[in-house]
Chains A and B, each alone.
Chain A
Amino acid sequence: MRAYVLSRLAQTALVVFLSLTAVFAMVRLSGDPVLLFMPMDIQAKDVNEFRERLGFNDPLPVQYARFVGGAVRGDFGESLRYRRDALGLVLERLPATFLLAGTALLLTLFVAVPLGIVSAVRRNTLLDHVGTVATVLAQATPGFWLGLMLIYLFSVHLRWLPTGGTGTVAHLIMPSVVLAAFFSARIARLTRSAVLEVLGEEYILTARAKGLGEGRVIGKHTLRNSAIPIVTLAGLEAGQILGGAVITETIFAWPGLGRLTVQALLNRDFPVVLAAVFFISVMYTLVNLAVDLLYGWLDPRVRLRA
C-alpha cells in the first residue's frame, strides 16, 4: 500500500510539472505579455524597455529555466498586473474558495445522494419522475442564468439576500446553491443509475430472500457497491468546483481562485496563471489519489497496482 501511495505521489509531482510546462508554453505563445499592462498612449520604445526590464526579451528556454528555478522554491514571480507575489495572491484566495466549495460539496452530498437513492428505490413512482425532471432542469440551466434569476428574486425584488460579496451566512447561500445545483444534478442521476444497477444484482435478491430488512439491503449491500461511479464523479466534480467556479464567483463577486485565474488569463498575467495552475493541479491530483484510495476501501476486490 505504501509503495502505491509513494508511487502516486511521485506521479503527482510529474503531473504538476507537465501541467506547468504546458501552461507556460501556451500562455507565452498566446500573445504579447507586456502590452496589456501598459497605458494605450505609451510609445513603442517604452514598451520595449519594459519588456526588457521584465525579462521577456530573453530567449524562451532562458525564461523557462528561470521559471522552473523559481517554481521549485515556491517563487512564481511578481504579478504583472498587481506587482505583488503571484503565489501569495493565489494563497490569499484560498479561504474564500474553500468555504464556497466546501459548502457546495456538502449540499451536493446531503441533497443529491439521498435524492438519487430514493429515486432508485422508489423507481417509476411520481417521486422518481419529478426528481428526474428536476435534476435535468437543474443541469439544463446555465449557472449564470440561475444565479442572475436568484439575484433578481431574492436581492432586487424581495431584498432578503445580498447580491454578492462575502461576510455573513446570507452571502454564502445563493452562490453555494448555484454552484451545487449543476453538480448535484449529475451526482443524483448517477447515484440513481448506479443504485438501480446494483439493486438488480443477484446478491441483492439473495439478501432480500434471506429476510434482511430493506434498510440493510440498501445501506450495507447496495451503497457500497454502487459507490464507485458516484465517487469517481464526485472526485471529478470536487476538483472542478475548486478550480472552476469562475462563473458563480463572477456573478456573486465572490473573491475566489477561479475568478483570479480567469482574469489573470484574460489579462495575460502569466505569473499568476502559473501559480494558480500549480495550486489547482496539486489539489486535483491529490483529490484523485484520495478517490482511488477510496476505491480500494469500498471494493476490496479491486487491488490497486501502481
Chain B
Amino acid sequence: MRRLNLALALSLALSLVGAAAALAQDRARTKEIVIGLGAEPRTMLAVTIVDWTTNTQLEHMYDRLLDRDAKTLKPKPMLATGWKIVNDTTWEFTLRQGVKFHNGEPFNAQSVKATMDYLKDPASKSHYAAYWRKVKEVQIVNDSTVRFVTDGPWPSLIDRASLTDFLLLPPKALKELGPAKLAEKPIGTGPFKFVEWKRDERLVLERNPDYWQGPAEVSRVTFRFSPEFSSRMAALLSGEIDIMKDVPPHAIEAVERSGRAKIRSAVSSRINYLALVNLKPGPMQDLRVRRAMNHAVDVDELIAQVLKGRASKICGPLSPANVDFAPVECYKHDPARAQALFREAGIDPAKLQLTLDSPSGRYPLDKDVSLAIAAQLQRLGIKVNVVVNEWGTHLDKIKNRNTGELFFLGWGPSVFGQGVIEPLFQANQTYSSYGNNKAIDEKIAKTIAIVDPKGRAAAYAELHQMIRDEAPWVPLWQQHDLYGVASHIEWTPRADEKVWMYDAKVVAR
C-alpha cells in the first residue's frame, strides 16, 4: 500500500517536472511559437480601437491594404498591388486578385468600401473615424479597383493606408453576423486563423493554409498575457515563452547567459523627448532658456550610462526612421554656453527651480532617465523636482497643461512627418507642449497639403529646421526595441514595431 502511494507520488511529481521541460522542445518540433505580452487585446474586431497590443495580434488575422518595407519603411503592396494619385482629391488603388477571407468570402472592392463605411459609422464608435475624416467616400470602379475621394489634398493618405489603420473586414460576415460576433470570433484574410481567446490568459491562432502569400512556416501562434515584467522574463528564461518585448538594457546579459534566448534589437521609430513647456507662463517661454537647456543636458551621457548605449540620439522631432526626415544640427553639450544663455535671459541657474513630470515604466527607463536629467541639471545648480506619475495621471496633466516646466514623453511609431509635427507643436493639440508660434502653424498647414513629393521633402526640411531652432524640446533619442527571442527562432524585429509571425522561422534543434 505504501509502495503504491510512493509510486503515485513519484509519477505525479515526474509528470509535473516532465510537463514543464517538455514544452519548449515540443514547440520547436511542431513549429509553434508563444509570445509573451503585457496586456491582452481589447477586441478581435479590426479598425475599431487604436491600441498597439490589440493591432499587433489582429494583424496576424487581418491584412493591411498596404504594408511597409522592413528596411526602408516605405509603403509596399499588400492587399493593394498598385496605387496612384488621379487628381488632387482622389487616390486610386488596384487590388490583388484571388484573395479569400477565412470564411471563403472573396476579397474585392466591396470589402474596401464596407470597411471604410463601418469605421466611419457613428454607431461603430471607431477611433479610426478620426484618422479617415478627410475621406469623403470610397468609389468602386470595378471589382479590383477602388478610389478614395478626399476632402482636399491628402498626400499622406498612402501613409495611413500602410499602417494598421486600415485592416480589411469581410463585408458579408459583417452584415450577417454583425460587429459584436466578429469582435469575439474574427474573420480576416491574414496568415493565421482564430482558434480561441481565453480572456486575460491567451490568444491562440493557427496557420491559414490558403494564405495568398503562401502558408506561414509557423503552424501555431499563442499570445500569452502576463502583466508583470519579471514573470515574463522568468517565462522566457524557463522556455515557456519564445518572444518577449521590451527587455531593459541591464537584463541583456542575463538573457544571453541563459543559453535559451538571445537579444534581438531594432532601432525603433518611436522617439523619446524632454518637453520644455511654453504653453503656460514660466522660464521655458524664453527661447534663450530653452536653448540653454539643450546645451545643459548631456544626451550622450544619458545614452551611455543609463541606457547602456541602447538608444540612437536625435537632433529634432523627425528621426532617420521617419520618411520625411531631413538632417538638422544637434545642440552641443556645452555647460558654459548654457550658463551664458541663462544669464542673458536674466536667470541665475543656482536659484532656478523646475519641476519635471515623468511617467514610470511606459518608456525604457523613463523614470531613471528623468532622475538622471535632474542630476545633470543639478551640476549647473538648477534644482529639479522629479514628479513620477501614474500613466493616466501623466496624460491628464499634459492635456490640462498641469505639468511642471518639463515633462518626459515618447511618441511613436513615428514613420511620417505629419504624424509627429502636427499633433505636437500647436497649442490646440491635446498632448502638445509648445504652440502659439504663428510662423510654425502656417508652415505646418502649408506643408501637409503639398502633393508633389519633391516640394514636400523641401518643405519638411525647412519646417524641421524651424522647429529645431525654436528648441521646444530637448530631443533625446530613438528607442532601441530589445526583444528576447528563443534561440531556436529566427525573427528580426522592425523599426515600425510590427511584430508579425509570418516572418518568423522555427529552426528545430
Contacts and interface: CB of A to CB of B under 8 A. Distances in A.
Interface in A4-57: 31-32, 35-44, 46-47, 50, 53-54
Interface string A262-292: 0100111000000000000000000000000
B395 A35 contact: yes
Interface residues of B, number: 51
A168 B23 CA distance: 14
B199 A255 contact: yes
B399 interface: yes
A83 to B, nearest CB: 6
Interface stretch (A158-166, A216-224, A232-240, A296-304): A158-166
A165 B16 contact: no
Given A46-B130, A164-B231, A35 B201 contact: no
A60 interface: no
Nearest to A170: B16
Interface stretch (A64-72, A176-184, A187-195, A245-253): A245-253
Interface stretch (A107-115, A120-128, A147-155): A147-155
A83 B49 CA distance: 9
A90 B226 CA distance: 19
A246 to B, nearest CB: 10
B227 A32 contact: no
A267 B392 contact: yes
Contacts of A214: none
Contacts of B199: 89, 92, 255
B20 A160 contact: yes
Contacts of A36: 391-392, 395
A152 B254 CA distance: 13
B33 to A, nearest CB: 16
Given A44-B429, A170-B16, A253-B225, A164 B235 contact: yes
Nearest to A160: B17
A252 B231 contact: yes
Interface centre among B20, B48, B183 (most CB of A within 10 A): B20
A163 B240 contact: yes
A186 interface: no
A259 B200 contact: yes
Given A170-B19, A251-B231, A163 B238 contact: yes
A253 B224 contact: yes
B198 interface: yes
A98 interface: no
Contacts of A151: 230-231, 234
A203 interface: no
A163 B431 contact: no
A35 B130 CA distance: 14
Contact of B396 (A31, A50, A165): A31
Contacts of B428: 44
A205 interface: no
A221 to B, nearest CB: 36
Contact of B42 (A35, A43, A82, A159): A82
Contact of B127 (A38, A161, A164, A165): A38
B127 A162 contact: no
A32 B395 CA distance: 10
Contact of B237 (A156, A160, A165): A156
A31 B391 CA distance: 12
Interface in B224-262: 224-228, 230-231, 234-235, 237-240
A31 B393 contact: yes
A44 B395 CA distance: 13
A42 B396 contact: no
Given A163-B240, A165-B224, A39 B391 contact: no
B115 interface: no
Given A251-B231, A267-B392, A39 B17 contact: no
Contacts of A160: 16-17, 20
A165 B76 CA distance: 39
B390 interface: yes
B200 A50 contact: no
Interface in B1-52: 16-17, 19-21, 42-43, 48-51
Contacts of B152: none
Contacts of B231: 148, 151, 163-164, 251-253
Nearest to A158: B17
A165 B130 contact: no
Contact of A253 (B42, B227, B392, B395): B227
Nearest to A155: B238
Interface centre among A53, A83, A89 (most CB of B within 10 A): A83
Interface of A: 31-32, 35-44, 46-47, 50, 53-54, 81-84, 89, 92-93, 144, 148, 151-152, 155-156, 159-166, 168, 170, 250-253, 255, 259-260, 263, 266-268
22 contacts: A31-B392, A31-B396, A40-B431, A42-B50, A42-B127, A43-B423, A46-B130, A54-B125, A81-B42, A82-B42, A83-B125, A92-B199, A148-B230, A155-B240, A156-B234, A162-B19, A163-B240, A168-B19, A251-B228, A255-B201, A259-B200, A260-B200
Q: What 6 A-B pairs are tightest by C-beta distance, nearest first?
A: A39-B50, A255-B200, A253-B226, A46-B130, A163-B235, A41-B423
